[in-house]
């Protein structure tokens, strides 16, 4: 403990000796995370926020789901999603194609938003998780695992594939009055992707990763090139 | 300080927004960095109420053109016709299409306005230092957080309607100026939700409890 304070980076806070002590993110109540049986969740007694859920085999299951999601994501964004058959003509579009048409029609800002919410954020969501889980396979997960994990919440907030699918359904119903609509392979891939992304997020246990990750403080303190660091009590 | 429910802030501890680690700032320092994930740490989100209000006002301003200006313009051989969001809902209403019409009505008109009102209510009660219905208020906040994203649905409806119906010269659909304002409402309300710190709801309770204890001492 003394060693730790001496080596303190001037800017960073000091961790507590008791790592099981947490504050509820929604009401700041100090509490201890108790040991619970697998499958059970720990909730804040004051505001009922789920603080942690004891997931079974979180790492392997999340990894499998993430790889499957990556494959489906690639399919969903490369093959046609919707086709239209009217007056002897056929037109196909993909998600990116939808955003592109908006840009052509002078709605650049909205097209960027659509691209961000339906294409970029889901990609980041999958890639971040994949990198985090691969990084965790090492004996001591490197600090960049933490850097990515810190931003997982952001990618999750802005990834809106499920909302987009509902939008596609509504658009289909509208268009069905004028023309024959042909659902493409990507549409089914997107349906499956929504389910996989939800399963992936609910299997993932960020707490487990945080407990094993290398601390940023140690990385800051470590002289460039040196592999060995001073042993500290977490 | 309430003995029964000590909060991290009352104990001088900061919990990390990024990784959840609880740590103590260096003596004399108000803010620092998380020793585990290097995130900047504060006791509460900085200027939470002011930022939430700013986003809300901007969203409320954009809400008006979003509903009055057309989001889609349909051009056929017979001429062109513009529809606002509400007209789109009415057009979708049919014996088979009414459930979807209701969904769009909820997602595009009810949710954005309910979201703005709910956050205004939260900001005002926190500012007044209310101690009533804390659990209900934090539940309201979580609901706004979960449901809010669905108002984006109309942006996607319009995107795919536009990109599919390009059958020039028979029929084509173009996005209207209302779409940008509508997208702005969705993004601004989401940013407002992100800037609001739900812990403030409980902070006022702690302050009131101290006053209560002082009065009864």
- Cα distances (angstroms) measured from residue B186 to each of A20, A59, A122, A158, B213: 38, 34, 18, 11, 43
Specify the higher pLDDT residue, B169 or A203.
A203
> Could you report the per-residue pLDDT of B5-48, keeping only the tens digit for each?
788 888 888 888 888 888 888 776 667 888 888 888 888 888 99
Confidence of residue A123 (pLDDT cuts 50, 70, 90): very high
Give kind and range of the element (H or E) at residue B44. Answer: none
Distance between CA A137 and CA A161 in Å, rounded?
Answer: 29
The pLDDT value given to residue A220: 61
At residue B207, the pLDDT reads: 66
Arch. (CATH architecture) of B47-216: Up-down Bundle (1.20)
pLDDT digits (tens, 9 = 90+) for A50-77: 988 988 888 999 999 999 999 999 999 9
Sign of the Cα pseudo-torsion (A84, A89, A93, A98, in order): negative
Q: Give me the residue label for tokens 């069905």.
A: A176
CATH architecture, domain defined by A58-216: Up-down Bundle (1.20)
pLDDT at site B210: 63
C-alpha distances (whole Å) from B217 to each of A118, B1, B204, B212 are: 58, 14, 20, 9
- For chain B, what is the mean pLDDT? 87
* The two structure tokens encoding residue A202: 């609910």
Output the pTM of the full model: 0.87
Domain with CATH 1.20.140 in chain A: 58-216
When pLDDT is cut at 50, 70 and 90, the band that residue A88 belongs to is confident
Residue A9, pLDDT score? 53
- First and final C-alpha spacing in chain A: 8
- Tell me the average pLDDT of chain A: 84
CA-based diameter of chain B, in Å? 82
Whether the per-residue pLDDT at B208 is higher than 50: the answer is yes
The pLDDT score that the predictor gives to residue B216 is: 66
* Closest C-alpha to A122, from A201, A202, A184, A57: A201
Query: Where are the domain boundaries for CATH 1.20.140 in chain B?
Result: 47-216
Tell me how far apart the alpha carbons of residues A126 and A130 are, in angstroms, rounded to a whole number. Answer: 6
Closest listed residue to residue A180, CA positions, set A79, A55, A90? A90
A70 vs A59, A73, A80, A117, A220, CA distance in Å?
Answer: 16, 5, 17, 17, 33
Residue A119 · residue A94 · CB < 8 Å:
no
Higher-confidence residue: B92 or A190? A190
The C-alpha atoms of residue B4 and residue A215 are separated, in whole angstroms, by 33
CB nearest A167 (choices: B14, B15, B153): B153
* CB < 8 Å from B in window 185-224 of A: 206-207, 210, 213, 215-217, 220
Residue with tokens 């940023």: A216
Interface of A with B in 31-90 (CB under 8 A): 46-49, 82, 84, 86-87, 89
Q: How confident is the model at residue B187 (pLDDT cuts 50, 70, 90)?
A: very high
- Candidates A68, A69, A71, A91; CA nearest to A80 is A91
Average pLDDT over residues A96-121: 94
- Helix, strand, coil shares of chain B, percent, nearest 5, are 60, 10, 30
Lowest-pLDDT range of A129-143, B105-119, B136-150: A129-143
Residues 74..133 of B with a Cβ closer than 8 Å to A: which?
91-92, 97, 100, 103-104, 107
Inform me whether the C-beta atom of residue A171 falls under 8 Å from chain B C-beta atoms: yes
The stretch B156-177 carries a mean pLDDT of: 87
Q: Determine the pLDDT at residue A229.
A: 42
pLDDT at B1 > cutoff 50: no
How distant, in Å, are the alpha carbons of A36, A88, B111, B123 from that of B146?
Answer: 27, 43, 11, 18
Binned at pLDDT 50, 70 and 90, residue B168 comes out as: confident
- Token look-up 């739900």 returns B198
Helix (H) or strand (E) holding A188: helix A185-203
Q: What is the H or E stretch that residue B193 is in? A: helix B178-195
What is the C-alpha to C-alpha distance for residues A1 and A15, in angstroms, rounded to an integer? 10
């Amino acid at each position: 403990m003394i060693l730790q304070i001496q080596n303190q980076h001037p800017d960073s806070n000091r961790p507590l000796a008791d790592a099981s002590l947490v504050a509820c993110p929604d009401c700041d109540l100090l509490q201890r995370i108790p040991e619970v049986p697998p499958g059970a969740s720990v909730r804040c007694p004051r505001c009922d926020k789920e603080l942690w859920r004891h997931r079974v085999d979180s790492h392997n299951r999340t990894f499998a789901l993430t790889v499957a999601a990556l494959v489906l994501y690639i399919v969903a964004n490369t093959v046609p999603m919707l086709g239209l058959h009217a007056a002897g003509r056929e037109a196909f579009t993909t998600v990116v194609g939808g955003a592109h048409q908006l840009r052509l029609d002078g709605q650049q800002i909205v097209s960027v938003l659509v691209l961000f919410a339906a294409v970029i954020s889901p990609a980041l969501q999958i890639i971040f998780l994949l990198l985090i889980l691969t990084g965790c396979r090492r004996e001591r997960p490197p600090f960049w695992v933490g850097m990515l994990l810190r931003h997982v919440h952001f990618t999750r907030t802005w990834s809106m594939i499920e909302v987009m699918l509902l939008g596609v359904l509504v658009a289909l119903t509208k268009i069905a009055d004028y023309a024959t609509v042909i659902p493409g392979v990507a549409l089914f891939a997107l349906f499956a992707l929504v389910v996989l992304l939800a399963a992936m997020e609910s299997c993932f246990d960020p707490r487990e990763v945080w407990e094993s990750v290398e601390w940023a403080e140690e990385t800051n303190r470590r002289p460039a090139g040196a592999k060995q660091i001073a042993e500290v009590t977490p | 300080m309430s003995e029964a429910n000590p909060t991290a802030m009352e104990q001088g501890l900061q919990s990390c927004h990024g990784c959840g680690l609880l740590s103590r700032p260096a003596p004399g320092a108000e803010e620092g960095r998380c020793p585990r994930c290097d995130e900047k740490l504060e006791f509460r989100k900085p200027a939470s109420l002011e930022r939430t209000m700013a986003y809300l006002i901007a969203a409320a301003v954009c809400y008006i053109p979003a509903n009055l200006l057309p989001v889609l313009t349909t051009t056929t051989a017979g001429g062109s016709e513009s529809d606002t969001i509400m007209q789109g809902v009415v057009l979708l209403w049919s014996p088979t299409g009414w459930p979807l019409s209701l969904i769009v009505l909820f997602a595009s008109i009810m949710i954005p306005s309910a979201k703005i009102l709910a956050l205004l209510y939260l900001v005002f009660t926190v500012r007044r230092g209310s101690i009533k219905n804390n659990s209900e208020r934090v539940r309201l906040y979580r609901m706004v957080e979960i449901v809010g994203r669905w108002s984006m649905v109309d942006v996607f409806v319009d995107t795919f309607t536009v990109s599919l119906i390009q059958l020039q010269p028979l029929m084509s659909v173009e996005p209207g100026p209302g779409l940008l304002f509508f997208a702005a409402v969705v993004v601004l309300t989401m940013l407002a939700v992100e800037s609001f710190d739900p812990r403030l709801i409980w902070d006022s309770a702690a302050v009131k409890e101290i006053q209560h204890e002082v009065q009864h001492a």
